[in-house]
Structure 1
Amino acid sequence: MIIGQPGSGKSWLARRMGEITHLPVVHIDAIHWAPGWVERPRAEKDRLCAGVHARPEWIFEGGHSSTWEARLDRADTVIWLDLPLGLRLRRVLWRSLSNWGRSRPELPPGCPERFNGEFVRYIWRTRRSQRSKLCWFYGQVPEDKDRHHLRSRREVADYLGGLSEAVASGNLGLPHR
C-alpha cells in the first residue's frame, strides 16, 4: 500500500516495485477516473477498490481514503512517500509537460495529460491538511506491518535497492506490497 500527496512519486514507485517483484500494480487514478476525465461515483470507486483488495496479491498506490482501512487490513506493507512540496510541484509540472496530450499508463484511455491550474492550487491548499491526514493514518498502521516513511529521493532509492536484494535472495516475505 503506497500513500502520499500528489507528485510524491506513488505511481512511479508502484511501477518500479511491480517490475522488481512481478506483483500486479493498481493505480487509484484508473479507479478514480473514467475515460474523458469523468470522475466515477464514490460507490463505484469503493466497489472497484474492494475488488482489488480481494485479489491474492497487489501493489496498490494512491488515495480514496474511504477504503484505506480495508486496504490496510489486506496489506503487509505501507509506504508513505512524504517528499517536499517544491519537489512535488516540479514533478507535477514535468509530468504535465512530458506527457502532454497523451494518457499516462496509470490513467484510463481518453484522459490525455493537460496542465490543470486547479490541481496545482489543490496541492498548495492541502499541503498541510493532507500531510496531517497521512501522518495520522500512518500512525494507525499496526506494528506487525512492514512500514516505510520515505522522505527523500535517496530513501526511495535505498528502499528499492533493498527490495531488489530481498527478491534476489528469496527473502521477499508476504505477497501484498
Structure 2
Amino acid sequence: MKKIIIVGSGGAGKSTLAQQLGDKLHIPVHHLDSYFWKPNWVSISREELVDIQLGLMQQDSWIVDGNYSGTLDLRLKQADTVIFLNYPTWRCLYGIVKRRIQYHNKTRPDMGEGCTEKLDMEFFKWVARFQKDKAPKLKRKIKAASHINYIELNSPKQTHNFLQHV
C-alpha cells in the first residue's frame, strides 16, 4: 500500500483514518476538501481540482481522502488501494453532528482555511442518502478498476482492527 484512496460518506471518519494511516505508514496525506474549498466555502473549478490531483499523483506514495466522484477515475488509475468506509447511515449522521459540535466556529484541520464547520440541511440530506444514492455507484466504479486492492470497512471496530494489523 503506497497509493491509497479513502472514500465513504461524510461523517464516516475518512480524514481521521487517512491521518492515522499516514502516520503509521509514513506516507503523505492529502485531504481533498482542503484543496477544494477556499475561504467562506467557495469551491475551486473542476479543472483546478484535476490539476492539483495530477500533481499529487506524481509522488511516489500518497493517501488521498475524499470522494469527489467527478475526479475519482484519475485517482483510481494511479492508486493501488482503495479503502471504503461503508458505515451505516446512522453512524455517519452521528459523525457529522459530533463534528459540528466539536468544531463549532472553528475550521477542521482537514478543511480549507477559512471554512468554519457548518451543518446545513443539504449536507445532512447528502449523508442521509449516501448509502442509497452514492455508495452503489462508488463500489461499481472501484470494482471496475481490477488492479485495485479493495478494502471495505463496515464499522469503526473493523477500522480499528484494520489499523492494528497494517
Q: TM-score, normalised by structure 1?
A: 0.86
Structure-2 residue corresponding to 1:148? 151
Contact 2:33–2:110 (8 Å) recurs in 1: yes
Q: Is the 8 A contact 1:100 1:113 kept in 2?
A: yes
Where do residues 6-25 of structure 1 align in structure 2 (5 Å cutoff)? 6-25=10-29
Q: CA deviation at 1:146?
A: 2.3
Q: Structure 1 stretch 120-129 or stretch 6-15: which is displaced more?
A: 120-129
Tell me the number of residue pairs that the alignment of Structure 1 and Structure 2 aligns: 162
Match of 1:134 in 2: 138
**Which has more radius of gyration?**
1
Among 94, 97, 104, the residue aligned to 1:90: 94
Aligned-residue CA RMSD in angstroms? 1.4
The yes-or-no answer on 1:160 pairing with 2:163 is: yes
Query: Per the alignment, in what secondary structure is the counterpart of residue 7 of structure 2?
Result: strand
Aligned pairs for 1:1-177 (under 5 A) are 1-142=5-146, 144-163=147-166
Does the CA contact (< 8 Å) of 1:80 and 1:138 recur in 2?
no
Q: Which amino acid aligns with 1:53?
A: M
1:81 & 1:127 partners in 2: Cα distance?
11
Which string of whole-angstrom CA distances, capped at 9 and with x for unpartnered residues, describes residues 108-128 of structure 1?
211111232221022224430
2-structure distance, mates of 1:38, 1:45: 13
| AA of the residue aligned to 1:161 | Q
Cα distance change on mapping 1:104 and 1:69 into 2, 3 Å: same
Asked whether the equivalents of residues 103 and 111 of structure 1 are also in contact (C-alpha less than 8 Å), the reply is yes
Contact 1:29 1:106 in 2 (8 A): yes
The residue number in structure 2 matching 1:170 is: none
Please state whether the residue corresponding to 1:121 is helix, strand or coil: helix
How high is the sequence identity, in percent, across the aligned residues?
Answer: 31
Checking the alignment, whether the CA contact within 8 Å between 2:89 and 2:130 is kept in structure 1 is no
TM-score, normalised on structure 2?
0.91
